[in-house]
Chains A and B, each alone.
Chain A
């Protein structure tokens, strides 16, 4: 028995909010760039050769996006995102295979740009430095739906979103952890804070690391608790220091600023 492509419809009712983690100015600057992030203002040529600022969605699979866990690969695979009217349920499940609809991506407007879609026929690889203005990030469901449609378009194979979820949940969790860490640490240098978080995740703990353990979803809550504890201790240590710049306690990365 074959499976259909899935959609954000449930019992005939659409739930666009379920696709997104954050939109517009609610998108957190501390969140690492992730599959499904939508950026504007990327200068790219079109089919007529004209170069202009375009919107794109990151298609690169989470596991291949970074060289070392921190730095993005020198080129990131993206698809162009343009205005597109809302699509009905059959339009999701039985058609528009070259698209990932992004309805209500701009909930604050009622113009044509309120609803958009990514087009897998218009692919680019871009330098990470060009990805600066993020206007939306997707929920786990949104990311899994994007992957399902992208993989289907490339191969005509329908893989259920829950299978993608199993595959990507560790990466999504890691992105959440890094975002939380950077929020709590509150430093100015995002790259530095991200590195600090990864150092903590990769620290050897009796032959394993928390990053390794992330592969097992059952360990996620334990790792979250451990991270909160670690951040509390760092903040305490920071508060106890007489002044900035004096000898850091062993094991901590460069000084953390207070969260404001």
Chain B
């Protein structure tokens, strides 16, 4: 469709007709603005190459840790079940309905309606299946017992940020990373919210008062 008169150096390189400098180095793909590897997932449908992949020793390990592909497949599998049975499974694991609602991104009444048989949208069904699949992955890869309790526990005693908070903020990447135990939890908190120390610094603490109930007092 373009004729030769409007071709330019950039287009030449995009089309690959301008070969790399004549020596017989491994042919590099010049067409792309390169990203530090690995960054893009390549579609396996033949012919179209993705990023020029520099091989990297532990690339595969990283892939395994970040789990995206596995999560996607597991969610597709889980999504074959009915919404009601998926919700029942989540509750049987010990999740609170309000936390399920939060992580699926809907209100508590919406979840209550689904439990009574009302139909959920396609996306909500995906999201419910994804949550269940994420639990499957974390339990099987990282031997987490009591997955619901694990989700409710703060990453660090210094801040009230739990895997539920991360997941609800679309940071499942950090949830999986936390489960792996490879990264210091406070480093993960910084990745989620660089200001977390200041945000959660408090002069107050909660303690058990004389009547058995919890009260608030100044620290120190």
Contact present between A and B (CB < 8 A): yes
Interface, chain A (partner B; CB < 8 A): 1, 3, 17, 20-22, 26, 28, 63, 139-140, 159-160, 162-167, 170, 173, 176, 180, 183, 215, 217-218, 220-222, 224-225, 228
The reply to whether B149 and A218 contact each other, CB–CB distance below 8 Å, is: yes
Given known pairs A21-B98, A28-B112, A228-B92, the reply for A218 and B216 (CB within 8 Å) is: no
Question: A181 CB to closest chain B CB, in angstroms?
Answer: 13
Given known pairs A21-B108, A28-B112, A218-B153, the reply for A162 and B96 (CB within 8 Å) is: no
Q: With A163-B202, A224-B94 given, name 11 new contacts (CB 8 A).
A: A28-B109, A139-B98, A160-B204, A166-B160, A173-B96, A221-B96, A221-B152, A222-B94, A224-B91, A224-B95, A228-B92
Interface, chain B (partner A; CB < 8 A): 91-98, 107-109, 112, 146, 148-149, 152-153, 160, 200-202, 204-206, 208, 213-216
Bound CA span A21–B99, Å:
11
Selected from B92, B109, B152, B205, the residue in CB contact (under 8 A) with A217 is B152
The reply to whether A163 and B94 contact each other, CB–CB distance below 8 Å, is: no
Bound CA span A21–B108, Å:
6
Bound CA span A173–B107, Å:
17
* 22 examples of A-B residue contacts, CB within 8 angstroms: A1-B201, A21-B107, A26-B107, A63-B213, A160-B200, A160-B204, A162-B200, A163-B205, A163-B206, A165-B160, A166-B160, A166-B206, A167-B206, A176-B97, A217-B152, A220-B94, A220-B96, A221-B149, A224-B95, A224-B148, A225-B94, A228-B91
What residues of chain A lie closer than 8 Å to B202, measured between beta carbons? Answer: 3, 160, 162-163
Determine which residue in B108, B153, B215 has the highest number of CB atoms from chain A within 10 A of its CB, and name it: B108
Contact residues of A: prevailing secondary structure: helix
The reply to whether B204 and A159 contact each other, CB–CB distance below 8 Å, is: yes
What residues of chain A lie closer than 8 Å to B95, measured between beta carbons? Answer: 221, 224
Selected from B92, B107, B149, B215, the residue in CB contact (under 8 A) with A22 is B107
Ranked nearest first, the 10 interchain pairs of A and B with the lowest CB-CB distance are: A221-B94, A26-B109, A221-B148, A166-B206, A221-B149, A162-B160, A63-B213, A225-B94, A167-B214, A163-B204
Bound CA span A221–B150, Å:
9
What residues of chain A lie closer than 8 Å to B214, measured between beta carbons? Answer: 63, 166-167, 170, 215
The reply to whether A220 and B152 contact each other, CB–CB distance below 8 Å, is: yes
What residues of chain A lie closer than 8 Å to B98, measured between beta carbons? Answer: 21, 139-140, 176
Bound CA span A137–B208, Å:
27
Closest to A139 in B: B98
Bound CA span A139–B109, Å:
12
What residues of chain A lie closer than 8 Å to B91, measured between beta carbons? Answer: 224, 228
Question: B132 CB to closest chain A CB, in angstroms?
Answer: 15
What residues of chain B lie closer than 8 Å to A215, measured between beta carbons? Answer: 208, 214
What residues of chain A lie closer than 8 Å to B149, measured between beta carbons? Answer: 218, 220-222
Bound CA span A183–B213, Å:
28
Closest to B150 in A: A221
The reply to whether A163 and B112 contact each other, CB–CB distance below 8 Å, is: no
Question: A11 CB to closest chain B CB, in angstroms?
Answer: 11
Closest to B112 in A: A28
What residues of chain A lie closer than 8 Å to B213, measured between beta carbons? Answer: 63
The reply to whether B109 and A22 contact each other, CB–CB distance below 8 Å, is: yes
Question: A113 CB to closest chain B CB, in angstroms?
Answer: 20
Bound CA span A215–B202, Å:
21
What residues of chain B lie closer than 8 Å to A162, measured between beta carbons? Answer: 160, 200, 202
The reply to whether B160 and A167 contact each other, CB–CB distance below 8 Å, is: no
What residues of chain B lie closer than 8 Å to A167, measured between beta carbons? Answer: 206, 214-216
The reply to whether B152 and A218 contact each other, CB–CB distance below 8 Å, is: yes
What residues of chain A lie closer than 8 Å to B201, measured between beta carbons? Answer: 1
What residues of chain B lie closer than 8 Å to A17, measured between beta carbons? Answer: 107
Bound CA span A140–B153, Å:
16
